[in-house]
A = this chain, B = another copy of it.
Amino acid sequence: MSDKRIHLFDTTLRDGAQTQGVDFTVADKIAIAEALDRIGLDYVEGGWPGANPTDDSFFAEPPAFRNARFVAFGMTRRPGRSAENDPGLAALVQSRATAACLVGKTWDFHVDLALGIPLAENLELIRDSIAHMAARKDEALFDAEHFFDGWKANPGYALDCLKAAAEGGASWLVLCDTNGGTLPDEIRRIVGAVREALPEARLGIHCHNDTENAVASSLAAIEAGARQVQGTLNGLGERCGNANIVTLIATLALKTDWQTGVDAEALTHLTSLSRLLDERLNRPSRTDAAYVGERAFAHKGGLHVSAVEKDPRTYEHVPPESVGNRRHIVVSDQAGRSNILARLREIGVEVDPDDRRVGRLVEEVKRREFEGYAYDGAAASFELLARRELGEVPAYFELSRFRVMDDRRWNARGDLVTESEATVTVRIGAEEVMTVADGNGPVDALDKALRKALNPTYPILESMRLTDYKVRILTPQAGTEAVTRVMIESAGKSGRWTTVGVSPNVIDASFNALADAIVWKLYRAGVEPAA
């Protein structure tokens, strides 16, 4: 194997799962593990068998891996019992993982304080436990917990711990900066010293982001001799997170001559891999994420936009498509004519730059953003605004009135129940239609009543559903009234789209966003309005 080969080890499903607010289901774990395998990871750590029911089920029926080795995590045996009789190690052996990664103490302070055993006994724990697993799995890796703090406190002992793991037959010695406090230069120096002391060992690096240097420290460790790097998708992890393996994959591929199992074709799936994690966690993706964020290749200032249109290399460090991302021209109140024109081209609207309607659109965007609209994240509403200004959007329906009622009361069985009911009156072509529906709250009821009115005329709406609903109260400026901004994400067969509504009243703002979502769907599908 080439000396330039770096082995990628993902611990999203183990160390990432430790994060506040993160709770993977077995289905989540399977979907993420399969995607990691597909893109070319070398190791996928799935969790800690024996620690909780989710991990037990996941390790009992793991997905079929094509390339990656499936790793179970555990601790070195407890003091006072043999590796054979340790219940934690037994759970690892019984799991269907093909490799085991055992964490052990290497900082003398921790051996003393947390384990409360003599330093020499901890070396036995490491040696025994690794040997036990190495005999029962394809390989046993050693995670050297607190290695850098341990080295700084007592380098001889920290090294003895690594030697004990090597004697036990560890395939990799992974140096962990568990508390995340070591700076890249120190990481480089210490990894270099270990490399010199143990020239035969294969070294790995495991960093945390407590000083915002996890990626840099991982790269420094590679330069100093580490050949395995551990990280998590989007840097998920306790406290400030782990090293972001998404950023590491892109940087190694596009900016260094190190080689990984992720080839150029696989790299174009990196953005969707990153988004998959957030979808599974049901949380918004970081728009400013390196390489894969929605804003990573966004251009806002007018000067930047015109330069990028001449040659993208002027303001882009790598081509967005190399990582499956795309360029994004931002509409905003800094928007000049050139931004709006670029954005119109992006959505496929060809218009003469000198057309007076472009000037009107720029003014309208500015006016609405002043009111509280935000088109940055609501592309469908921007498209409707632009196409309406160009006179392209027909009147599919017109609202005459709605009324929503929410009622919380004790029912006949003595339970406190809440019911929401909406009545909608709309004009569709020549006809006036009145419908009523109930729902989980006022917006859901409104949505249902409106669709009930529209579906018979526009059956294409049946496949559409509301997938996300966000409310933001905008801080009132001195002297103006507070307003509410609602963003709605909808999904249909053709993908997802986002619309925005603003009003002093949250129900009103919701209705506006809802109406935009429906009109966008009808317009995009090329539906003719009812006569």
Contacts and interface: CB of A to CB of B under 8 A. Distances in A.
Nearest to A52: B334
A477 B25 contact: yes
A243 B79 CA distance: 46
A238 B473 CA distance: 24
A288 B469 contact: no
A475 interface: yes
A474 B280 CA distance: 11
Contacts of A474: 282
A390 B300 CA distance: 55
A472 B21 CA distance: 13
Nearest to A333: B23
Nearest to A473: B469
A287 interface: yes
A216 B317 contact: no
Which one of A216, A239, A420 has the highest number of Cβ atoms from chain B below 10 Å of its Cβ? A239
Determine how many copies of this chain the complex contains.
2
Interface string A384-407: 000000000000000111111111
A472 B311 CA distance: 41
B316 A179 contact: yes
A300 to B, nearest CB: 6
Contacts of A223: 185
Given A238-B301, A288-B209, A301-B238, A401 B410 contact: yes
Given A219-B183, A300-B20, A114 B503 contact: no
Nearest to A439: B505
A442 interface: yes
A297 B20 CA distance: 12
A493 interface: no
Contacts of A239: 288, 293, 295-298
B403 A405 contact: yes
Contacts of A23: 332-333, 369
Interface in A322-360: 330, 332-334
A307 interface: yes
A317 B408 contact: no
Given A184-B184, A211-B255, A401-B410, A508 B418 contact: yes
Given A290-B240, A470-B471, A471-B471, A314 B443 contact: no
Interface of A: 18-21, 23, 25, 52, 109-110, 113-114, 178-181, 183-185, 209-213, 215-217, 219-220, 223, 235, 238-241, 244, 247, 250-251, 255-256, 282, 287-291, 293, 295-301, 303-304, 307, 310-311, 313-318, 330, 332-334, 369, 374, 376-377, 399-410, 416, 418-420, 440-444, 467-475, 477, 482, 484, 503-508, 511
Task: List the 7 closest pairs (A to B, CB-CB), nearest first.
Answer: A181-B317, A216-B216, A441-B506, A418-B508, A404-B406, A401-B409, A406-B507
8 contacts: A20-B376, A113-B310, A180-B317, A183-B219, A184-B184, A238-B298, A240-B296, A467-B473
